[in-house]
A and B are shown apart, each in its own frame.
Chain A
Amino acid sequence: MSLLECRDISRSFFGVKALDGVSLSVAEGETLGIIGPNGSGKTTLFNIISGLDRSHEGRVTLGGRDITTARPHRIVGHGLVRTFQNLRLFKGMTALENVVSGGHSRSYKGLAGQVLGLPAMRRSEDELEMRARACLAEVGLAGYEEASPAEMSYGQTKRLELARALNAEPKILLLDEPTAGMNDVQAAEILGLVARVRDRHGLTLIVIEHNVPVLSRFAGRIVVLDAGRKLVEGRPEEVTRDARVIEAYLGAGAE
């Protein structure tokens, strides 16, 4: 049974079709890779799924629930969390606070409880902090709790964003170019970490990625977008051999 289903998604910006009737479905526990040249609509698709943008046509359902017009914070409540291509960390907070923030949806929110320091609030805050520390350790950032994101290396901030997303306890995680700007060794390391995390938490993943060889090793299925349309869909070894993909993605005559 598919966990996330997009049907005929279309979105245009001032007449330019960023997405043109894209459909895809992701089964529970699956890892789907999305590749495509710049401007092919990958991030737009993520924005529409996560509720930051609205599609002009089509439907998005998550676990059978229609989330096409739901606002972002509602969608997180249903277990869908995303990361961003150009890291969106909270710069005025420490690494630990950043990760604690990830658990916002399950935090205790009553104002009176916070003012009075009720036990329920304390338990919730303690749980969030414990989980946040565990998430930091999981991505290999134990010891950086009090560091500010500005003091961290690029690779560390990528890990931090992953930890923050993990603390949101997603069922399905959308990663927008988790290895952007990294060399093959670093990229393999990050995707290896993502794979470990996925297996440990039983996550369903959708990953936008440019590094096709690295992606092929860990995605079960790859969708290729080109100019807002789905070009090819299939197992990595099929997709990377497909003549249309080679032409669109790697440029004609790249073989």
Chain B
Amino acid sequence: MAMTETFRTPFTVKFGPWLFLILMACLPLVLPGRFWLHIFSLTMIYAIFVLGQNVVTGWAGMLTLGQAAFVGMGAYASVLLTMQAGLSWPLAFLASGVICAACGAALALPCLRVKADFLSLVTIAFNQIFFMVANNWMELTRGPMGIPGVPSMQILGWKARSSSDQFWLILGVAAILFFLVARLMHGQLGRTMKMIRDDEVAAGALGVNVTGYKVLAFAIGCGVCGLGGSLYGHYMRFVSPDMFKLEESLLIMQMAILGGLASMPGCALGAFLMIMIPEALRSSEPWLITIRPGVAGATLVALMIWRPNGLLGFGQMPRSIRRLLRLEKEARP
């Protein structure tokens, strides 16, 4: 009888992330020099930002263009809490997540009154407001001068001094965040968000509290960005308003779209490509350097034409390849 039949998660889905994590953890042992380690650390931090963006945009279907404001808010909160209030980094890290989640939920309220493009405009405006405040509130943020001398991350007396220590710490935090968000997005919460994304009216008619889930999506997405922001500030050892401008939001959004909306590996892939492409072109060939700024843009244009759902987005992978990689659930005989 069908009711006793169970379905197993394919092994690629089950063990793929662990294998990837192990390979990543080996990187500092094989990478030559600190520069590439830095690039990979940065990629992982951006992947966290993209994760936050993807919860709101990929799963819940709201195109926010202000995630950099939450990254900045998390970074400033964490930096000020450690430097001014004397909190330890892990506490400041968690606090910045909570603060950003609360602010995200608050921003969701005006966003709920508008749809689609206008929602993007509200979030752009929010990004500008954040920038203005950070730039002008001299007493708190030191304005455009920024805050230098930010202490490095440390946990219970262990301080991440070398770049490989920092790499491993960021990898650990990123892995935990990806794990937690994946649990939510691959279960009931992610499914409900996709219902809202695909058809709000039908979602409501099937019993979804649309307002509640939109606020929740903002809270989670912005909270994740805030946590990423805390890592960013303490990794760069410096924060200034310029780091969290609208351009940064656009970059995060581009990464999310490039990797594929509502795709967990897509977050990492998008961040990786958008950081790696410009770095790889930073070579000795003069013409490569000339075209460098245009490559990311051209990539996106090409993507919109041939892969409008992003590299790993829904329906982008042919069924045959999905079968080959065992990405679909199969009935247990």
Contact = CB atoms under 8 A, between A and B. Distances in A.
Contacts, number: 105
Given A91-B198, A114-B184, A115-B180, A104 B192 contact: yes
A49 to B, nearest CB: 11
Contacts of A72: 204-205, 207
A71 B180 CA distance: 31
Interface residues of B, number: 33
Main secondary structure of the interface of A (DSSP, over half): helix
Interface string B172-212: 00000000100110011101101101110111111111100
Interface residues of A, number: 44
Contact of A76 (B183, B187, B205, B314): B205
A88 B201 contact: yes
Interface of B: 2-3, 5-7, 180, 183-184, 187-189, 191-192, 194-195, 197-199, 201-210, 262, 314-315, 319, 328
A100 B191 contact: yes
Contact of B204 (A52, A90, A97): A52
Interface string A83-109: 010001111110001001110110111
A93 B3 CA distance: 23
A90 B207 contact: no
Contacts of B203: 101, 104
A164 interface: yes
A102 B188 contact: no
Interface in A111-129: 111, 114-115, 117, 121, 124-126, 129
A117 B183 contact: yes
A130 B205 CA distance: 22
Contact of A90 (B3, B184, B198, B315): B198
29 contacts: A71-B209, A72-B205, A72-B207, A73-B209, A84-B205, A88-B199, A88-B205, A89-B199, A89-B202, A90-B198, A91-B198, A92-B314, A93-B195, A101-B192, A101-B194, A104-B208, A107-B188, A107-B192, A108-B188, A109-B189, A111-B189, A114-B183, A115-B184, A125-B188, A126-B6, A129-B7, A130-B5, A134-B3, A146-B319
Given A93-B195, A104-B195, 16 more contacts: A73-B207, A73-B210, A76-B205, A84-B201, A90-B198, A90-B199, A101-B195, A104-B203, A104-B208, A109-B188, A114-B187, A115-B180, A117-B183, A121-B187, A125-B187, A129-B7
B333 to A, nearest CB: 16
Nearest to B322: A146
B201 A101 contact: no
